[in-house]
Amino acid sequence: MGWAIALHGGAGDIPLSLSLDRRQPREETLRRCLQIGVQALKEQKPPVDVVELVVRELENCPHFNAGRGSVLTTNGTVEMEASIMDGKKRCGAVSGLTTVVNAISLARLVMEKTPHIYLAFDGAEAFAREQGVETTDPSYFITPQNIERLKQAKEANSVQIDYTQPSPQATGQETEIGNGDSQIGTVGCVAVDNHGNLAAATSTGGLVNKMVGRIGDTPLIGAGTYANHLCAVSATGKGEAIIRGTVARDVAALMEFKGLSLEEAAAYAVESVPKGNVGLIAVSASGEVAMPFNTTGMFRACATEDGYSEIAIWPSNMTE
């Protein structure tokens, strides 16, 4: 069927009332990043290059919960994490990053330049300096919007998943962020080329008000990210639920051991997780795309070589 690409900007409780000024920057970023990925595939760049390139762009956008827009821990700090994997099961992952501008690129360096798969915290930061990747002062990642999100989460005494709505009791009033924008989403990209080569990449700042040292599904191979010879998957949502469900691996396993199609396997994996917790994007070696979710919405985009493309937030049966 040819090449295909899909990307996401997080799944969660995204209300239909989300204002245009909240939606538009994210939709525009998804559109721009989709075009970058499509162009790279047309230039016959390897899928692992494509997913890294697209996720770097998403990390640099403050409207999503990764890189520049990463949400804050209970201490008001950032701890970013990411992973990348290709269809030959080569993979790399990082956690606990505080100064690395593009976590996904460090994850790729772990994959390619070390005998390991996963580096975290001080060791990952030291490796970043050793490799000469771009780093910056931690203050670069601490945006006013995320300071406000943390304040709301602390007032509600909660740890918040992507796009969590603040409770009226917690805020006492409608805030600028209160209108369906108290959280922002993890990012990911999956791609397949004309030869059936596959890759997946996912990056996040985690949960608002998470404990220092908490690790979610994003850097865990088989949970937030997975690729093999059949498919590539990037998940988003509540990390703990995705880890319990080994969501990304389940899609591949259902295809391999039950003979399900990509669409059937992706739907089954999402339905197996309690409602309101997960979304995923996936492509198959034959160029199929699936983007199911059991949350209110998921910022997502996809394109295939046969000319199909889509950028959406809510289920297709709901008006935008």
User: 257 to each of 90, 151, 251, 254, how far by Cα in Å?
Assistant: 21, 46, 10, 5
- 186 flagged as catalytic: yes
Residue at 50: amino acid letter = V
Q: What are phi and psi of 193, to 5 degrees?
A: -100, -175
Amino acid present at 35: Q
Q: Which of 98, 143, 164, 186 is catalytic?
A: 186
Please, where are the H alpha helices in 216-298?
Answer: 239-244, 247-258, 262-271
CB 96 within 8 A of CB 70: no
State the DSSP code for 115: S
Where residue 83 falls (left for φ over 0; alpha for ψ -120 to 50; beta otherwise) is beta
Bridge partners (DSSP) of residue 80 are 97
Indicate the helix (H) or strand (E) that contains 170. helix 168-171
Residues marked as catalytic: 186
